[in-house]
Structure formats: structure tokens, C-alpha cells
Amino acid sequence: MNRIVKMILTLTLLGLISGIALSMVSNYTDPLIEQNQQEALREAVFYVLQPTEDYEERTVDGKVIYESYDESGELVGYSFTASGGGYQGTIELIVGVGTELEEIKGIQILASEETPGLGGKIRGESFKSQFRGLEAGQGIGLVKSEEPERGEIQAITGATISSRAVVDIINKELSRVRSILPEGE
């Protein structure tokens, strides 16, 4: 009986020490992780709307919108985050649009759990560059094997679901932003 009590006390003590150590590490790293995420978002805002010298964050109907300005202080467009389901998990991205909310200026994938090598190609410049200057007034279309036309992008071979997910996420969130941020505002 004495041996069992010792074993229970030892395991309890080890569990308690491990829990405290993990808690301390978490308390130390959480602010650093948050700071890194904010810096990544800041860089993404500058990436999706070029040329951006500065931006302001504002909330409209619960949606955070980033208004970007050029060096003369003139509004160059808006950017906003969007997320949705991909092939293997959630895809989080930021979208930059012109002031009329009709042209995509750029996108940046912030987080993705897509398959490395296939779905992970949504992070690649060859995929993201298709959105630059894309007319999205009627929504973005996706084509698989033919040449994309106006307002369409080419799906990544072997990653159609991930490509479709990005397009659907953008279309859905752009529609929402248009409803809360009328053009010319």
C-alpha cells in the first residue's frame, strides 16, 4: 500500500510541475506570438495594396476594414481578412480591393492547413498573382483546363478544391464588404 501511495504522489507532483512549467512557457510566448501575427498582418496589408504608405484600421458592422493610403495621403483601396474551409482545414487570407470595390489588387494567405506540395501551392506567387488586377464586379470565376477569361483564375492542377475554396472565400467576403461599405465611401 505504501508503494502505491508513493507512486501516486510522485505522479501527481510530476504532473503538477509539468503543468506549471507549460503554463509559464505559454504566458511567456503568447504575447510574442500575438506580436508576430500582428506584424504578419501589417506586412500583408502593405503587400495586397501597393503602393501603400500608411493605413488606418476601422470597424464597420463588426468587420475590420483597413483603408490604405499612398504617399500623398490619397485613398488607394481597402483590405480585409477572410477565412473559410479548405480541403484540409481553415484558410485565412487578406484581400486588397480598389476604392470602387470592383478590382482585386492582391491577396495574401495568412494561414492554411492545406496539403503541402498540392493545396499548399495557394501560397505560391504563381497562384496569388492571378488575382492582381482581377475584375471581380460579378464575382471571381474558376476554370480548370481552359484559359481564364476576364474575372476568372486558373485552378491549381491537383488542388482544385483548395483553389475553389480561396475563390469562394473571397467572393463571399467581398460581397459582405460591399454590403457594409458602399463604393465611394
Residue at grid coordinates 489588387: 105
SS (H, E, C) the chain: CHHHHHHHHHHHHHHHHHHHHHHHHHHHHHHHHHHHHHHHHHHHHHHHCCCCCEEEEEEECCEEEEEEECCCCCEEEEEEEEEEECCCCEEEEEEEECCCCCEEEEEEEEEECCCCCCHHHHHCHHHHHHHCCEECCCCCEEECCCCCCCCEEECCCCCHHHHHHHHHHHHHHHHHHHHHCCCCC
pLDDT at res. 50:
86
Q: Give me the pLDDT at residue 116, please.
A: 86
Mind listing the pLDDT tens digit of every residue in the chain (185 residues)?
A: 689 999 999 999 999 999 999 999 999 999 999 999 889 989 999 999 988 889 999 999 999 999 999 999 999 999 999 999 999 899 999 999 999 999 999 999 999 988 888 888 999 999 999 999 999 988 999 999 888 989 999 999 889 999 999 999 999 999 999 999 865 45
Question: Residue 93's pLDDT is what?
Answer: 97
pTM for the whole thing?
0.82
What's the pLDDT score for residue 183? 54
Distance CA 96, CA 137 (A): 14
Ranges of each domain in the chain: 46-180
Q: Phi/psi of residue 111, each to 5°?
A: -155, 145
